[in-house]
Amino acid sequence: MNRHFSIPKNFEDSIAAALASHKLTLQDSKALAKNVLMLSDFFIQNPDGQTPWHQSFAQIAYLSYYLPLNAARLRAVTQEGAKRNFFAELENVIDFGAGLATASLALSETQNLQYTLIEVASEPQKIIETHFKDFKAQEWIRTFSAGRLKNPKKTLALFSYSLTELNDLPEWAAECEAVMIVEPSTQQDGRKLMALRQRLLEKGYHAWAPCTHEGPCPLLTQSKNDWCHDRIHFDAPEWFQRMEEHLPMKNRTLTTSYLLMRKTAPEKIEAARVVGDTLKEKGKDRQMICRGPDREFLAWLHKNKNSQEIPRGVLVKIPNDIQKVSNELRVQTEVELF
């Protein structure tokens, strides 16, 4: 199961070309890291501030750090969506708060759709049009409202790290057939997203991923602390690792919280989502799964010598011979990926 993501060559070439306009190369590790820290400090001092796109430090930081990391997260979410046929029959994407078109760039690598980018700042459009030539946007717009929606039944409303400050979906998005939301995997943002899932279900949307069911979310209703999030491996190229040597944060694995919902119902599946890392405990290993309103764990008893580590975020088939003991599903035969 491939849960490893990196930076594709053409993507890296575009980043390098954009950095050249700031007289930097991918090898200028220390200078790149300095700009990343400046943007990170900016957000610490202005938690609700808009990305200062007019400043070159923000452009450099986004290009060399946030863009490759967020694009990897978006590729993983897209892969999970595609496995469930989530993008079938969609034609248009409205990428709200697009920034450097991060989500659309990643999605367009596998999904041939028409991309409209909504971005209040003008600099990102210029950077993408000049340096990311493989990507063709339908149009860039500074602000969006319901009246501009042309084809809602075939439209995906896409929010990548852009819903944080809004409490609910904007009015126009609720008219769209599909919504794809990716949020920082913090407890606060993650739980807010799970609450939004519940409101969208009540409005008639269906949950496609990560959820495998439409009952109450067990991480929300049966815990005060949990939040649903995925984890992928980021195989950073050498230049990225060298830049990271000058940064306090390391990114060998990346987490993300996401939600894919449509007005049409998904095909029913007999599967569970692995929503936890392996927990090594006395006498057993456990991994949390989600397949209904109960908080449940797959458990491998050490005495059975059948240990297994399943990548967090994938779908699995629950074997028929599982032994259920309270909230534990004790594994006898190998758990297969869906």
Ligand X SMILES: C[S@@+](CC[C@H](N)C(=O)[O-])C[C@H]1O[C@@H](n2cnc3c(N)ncnc32)[C@H](O)[C@@H]1O
Q: List contacts with ligand X (CB under 6 A).
A: 50-51, 66, 70, 97-99, 102-103, 118-121, 143, 160-162
* Segment holding 199, helix H or strand E: helix 187-202
**Closest approach of Cβ 267 to ligand X, in Å?**
29
3-class DSSP state for residue 92?
strand
**Closest approach of Cβ 144 to ligand X, in Å?**
7
Nearer to ligand X, 103 or 157 (CB): 103
**Residue 255 carries which DSSP code?**
E
| Burial of 213: CB neighbours in 10 Å, binned 0-12, 13-18, 19+ | middle
| Burial of 23: CB neighbours in 10 Å, binned 0-12, 13-18, 19+ | exposed
Nearer to ligand X, 104 or 212 (CB): 104
**Closest approach of Cβ 154 to ligand X, in Å?**
22
> CA-CA distance, 135 to 10, in Å (whole number)?
11
C-alpha distances in Å from residue 82, one per residue of 8, 75, 109, 136, 324: 19, 10, 12, 21, 31
Nearer to ligand X, 29 or 51 (CB): 51
Nearer to ligand X, 42 or 338 (CB): 42
Residue type, 253: T
> CA-CA distance, 24 to 16, in Å (whole number)?
8
Nearer to ligand X, 52 or 292 (CB): 52
**Closest approach of Cβ 95 to ligand X, in Å?**
7
Q: Phi, psi at residue 166, to the nearest 5°?
A: -85, 145
Q: How many residues does the chain have?
A: 338
Nearer to ligand X, 97 or 266 (CB): 97
**Closest approach of Cβ 126 to ligand X, in Å?**
13
**Closest approach of Cβ 75 to ligand X, in Å?**
12
